[in-house]
Amino acid sequence: MHGAFTAAWCWEEHYLPFFAKAGFDTRALSLSGHGGSRGRDRIDSLSIQDYVDDVHEVVEQMPVPPILVGHSMGGFVVQKYLEHYTSPAVVLMCSVPPQGLMSTAVNLLFSRPNLLTDLNRIMGSNGGGLGSLRDAMFAQPISMDDMKRIFRHAQPESHRALWDMTLFNLPQPSRMANTPLLVMGTALDQLVPPSSVEMTARTYNTEAEILPGMGHGLMLERDWRLGAERILAWLVENGLKPKQVNSKRSKVAAQ
C-alpha cells in the first residue's frame, strides 16, 4: 500500500518488476481517491477505514491471502487491517507508527518548521517548489526530470485520513492478528525518522531495520535495491519465497 499524496505508481518503476522477477504475483493498489481509483471527487471525506475496506475488497478477490507491504500511510492502513483480518506476512516501510503522526509533527516543528507547510501548498496546488518535495522524500541525488515526473503524479491527501492517523483512529495492537512482521525504516527519513520506526518495532516486539543513506521515498531512491533485496531475503527466511520462479507466470499489476 502506498503512502499519503501518492498512489500505486510509486511501486511501478522498481518494486513491482523486482518482485515479479523473483516469482511473486505482484500487485499494487491505489486506495480510494488516489491514482485512477474511485472517489477522487470526494477525497477529503475518505477515512482510514475506507482505505482498510479497499484493501479487504482487493484481498477477497485474490486466490490466496497476499503478503502485505505498506509504506508510510500505507503501513498505518495495514496495521488497521490486521485488527480485523489476517495476512501470511507484513512489511512496514517507513510506516506511520501506531502512536500516530503527532510525534512526527512535533519532530518536524523543531527540525524543519516550514516543511509541512510547503508540502501542503505543493500538494494542494497552491504553489511551493520542488525543493521541499525533494527534501521530504529523498536523501540521494535525483534528477530534476525525475522530480517533475513525481510531482505530476503527486496529489492532495484526505484531511480526514490525516486526522485519523494523528488522533482519531489509531491502531490497537492488542486486537491485531499475530503475523511475521518486518519493520523497516531509513536513516535519513525526515518524515518518519528512525526513532519513530524503532517505536513501531518496540510496540510489536520486534527489531527495527534501518537502511543507511536513504530518505522517506526509499522505493524511488537511487539505492532502492537495498530495501527490495532485504524484503526478499526476509521473505525467504520466513519460508515465503515462491517454490518455483517462473517470470512468465508472474504478474505485475497496479490498480
Secondary structure in 3-state letters for 80-148: HHCCCCCCCCEEEECCCCCCCCHHHHHHHHHHCCCHHHHHHHHHCCCCCCHHHHHHHHCCCCCCHHHHH
Question: What is the distance between the alpha carbons of residues 68 and 28, in angstroms, rounded to a whole number?
Answer: 10
- Sheet strands (E) in the chain: 26-28, 68-71, 90-93, 181-186, 208-211, 252-254
CB 255 within 8 A of CB 30: yes
Binned at pLDDT 50, 70 and 90, residue 103 comes out as confident
**What residues have CB less than 8 Å from 12, skipping those under 6 apart?**
28, 252, 254
Mean pLDDT of the chain: 88
Q: How many domains does the chain have?
A: 1
Kindly state the cell numbers that stand for 20. 515479479
Does residue 3 belong to any structural domain of this protein? no
Does residue 118 belong to any structural domain of this protein? no
Domain around 101: 9-108+155-254
Backbone φ and ψ for 254, nearest 5 degrees, come out as -130, 135
Does residue 113 belong to any structural domain of this protein? no
Which of residues 22 and 127 earns the better pLDDT score? 22
Q: What is the CATH number of the domain that holds 197?
A: 3.40.50.1820
Does residue 146 belong to any structural domain of this protein? no
Share of the chain above pLDDT 90, in %: 76
Strand partners for 208: 183
**Helices 144-153, 130-137: crossing angle, 10 deg rounding:** 90
pLDDT higher than threshold 60 for residue 95? yes
* Whole-number pLDDT of residue 91: 98
* Model pLDDT for residues 22-39, shown as the tens digit of each residue: 999 999 999 999 999 999
If you average pLDDT over residues 186-205, what whole number do you get?
A: 96
Does residue 127 belong to any structural domain of this protein? no
Backbone φ and ψ for 252, nearest 5 degrees, come out as -120, 115
0.85 exceeded by pTM: yes
Does residue 162 belong to any structural domain of this protein? yes
What is the dihedral angle through the alpha carbons of 143, 149, 153, 157, rounded to the nearest 10 degrees?
30
Question: What is the distance between the alpha carbons of residues 94 and 198, in angstroms, rounded to a whole number?
Answer: 10
* Whole-number pLDDT of residue 82: 98
pLDDT higher than threshold 60 for residue 135? yes
